[in-house]
Structure 1
Amino acid sequence: MIDTTLPLPSLLEAFDARLARLEAHLGVEGVSVSDADSVELAPQLQAYDEYVTQYSPPFLIAREKLGEGTRKLGEVTEKAFAAQRAFLLMASQCKKPATLKSEHLRDLQACIGEANTLRDNRSEFANHQKC
């Protein structure tokens, strides 16, 4: 029986050892963490990461200087970039689906909707706020 007072790393090591014994008994090969980390990203995802790394920081710095409304829009934009990356990662690891389901784009659509609600049409910068 495992002592519940053991620190988390010890518990994880014990669990990993038991899982390895069970997999060996069943004749199943498990995937180690090092194998999962060695998976290469698709070139498209690498290009997306480079784009975000290059163009996101100047925008994020500028949003802080431009006021509260821009700060909130920046937060939504960050969420949208993260949602887009998650979609691209999923798409790069899957086979082509028969149809694209709306649930795959739900997070990105939510970000676009949230950004649209932040727009103030009475502002002198209304044209700059459009998505």
Structure 2
Amino acid sequence: MYRIGEIAKLKNISKRTIDYYTQIGLLNPIRTDSNYRLYSDECLQILNMVEHYKNLNMPLEEIKSSIELIKSDNTIDKQKVEKHFKQIASIMQHLKEEIHVMEPILQKLNDQQREKYVNRLSSEGVTLAQTLLLLFS
């Protein structure tokens, strides 16, 4: 269990951000008898997911919906699942557009530079493709 200052330092975010995430229901700390908030390892995992989704430029409300979907019990809300898949499709479309914008820049690089960037993207792309195949199979 972590106090707010400890978790803020671990994740390199402000206490105020953690307070906000707690206020909107993303994080659910345990209250001690002396009213301190203690954050579990699950809270760390949630903060990792928030960071991941924020890196994908996903709005916080959509991040919250996605995390709630992941955390939900075995009941499946088809509308939430559909919304989540639409979010994934939107992110994939955005990435496709980014690649299109990057093509002229890549062509200006020398062979060694281009190979370096393409190899880095290729390994991440393979991992993403494998994950998507697992999800859809």
Q: Same fold (TM over 0.5)?
A: no
TM bin, normalised by shorter chain, reads: 0.3 to 0.5
Higher strand residue share:
2
Point out the structure with max Rg over C-alpha.
1
Task: Select the structure with the greater relative contact order (CA < 8 A; seq sep ≥ 6).
Answer: 1
TM-score, reference length from structure 1 = 0.35
TM-score, reference length from structure 2 = 0.34
